Amino acid sequence: MLEYKGVRIAWLGHDTFKISGSGSSSSSGIAIYIDPYKLRKEARDRADILLISHEHFDHLSVEDAKKVVAADRTTVVTTKSCADGMRGVKVKEIKVVKPWDKVDVQGVA
């Protein structure tokens, strides 16, 4: 794990990362997961933000996404095709982006 100025970056295997730090309303700070894949267990800290880069099976794994999301808390930021693949997964919202789009989610841009 790498920590710099209160931001922690942890590699969880393959292309899966968790970025955490202060800045959200939760007591443990904000949690961002990127491309969860082959996770061994449910995440203790649920995602405030879930980033899914593209639709390949090892980046868009619905089974693994379900291990990190919370229906009342998680915003997914992803492409249209990945958003379609996430149908049926209970999350707070899904923001669809295209290359070079910028979005702000809970103060993270």
Q: Are strands 7-13 and 2-4 parallel, antiparallel or unpaired?
A: antiparallel
Q: Is residue 104 part of a domain?
A: no
CA 102 – CA 99 distance, rounded (Å):
9
Q: Is residue 101 part of a domain?
A: no
pLDDT for the residue numbered 42 = 86
CB atoms within 10 A of CB 55: 15
pLDDT for the residue numbered 29 = 83
Any long-range contacts for 20-25 (C-beta under 8 Å, 24+ apart)?
Answer: 20/45, 23/106, 23/107, 23/108, 24/48, 24/106, 24/107
> pLDDT digit string (tens) for 22-58?
654 445 589 999 999 999 888 888 999 999 999 999 9
Q: Is residue 107 part of a domain?
A: no
Domain span at residue 53? 2-96
Q: Is residue 109 part of a domain?
A: no
Q: Is residue 108 part of a domain?
A: no
> pLDDT digit string (tens) for 46-99?
999 999 999 999 999 999 999 999 999 999 999 999 999 999 999 999 999 999
Query: Could you tell me the CATH number of the domain that includes residue 82?
Result: 3.60.15.10
pLDDT for the residue numbered 65 = 97
Per the structure, how many domains does the chain have?
A: 1
Q: Is residue 75 part of a domain?
A: yes
Q: Is residue 69 part of a domain?
A: yes
Q: Is residue 56 part of a domain?
A: yes
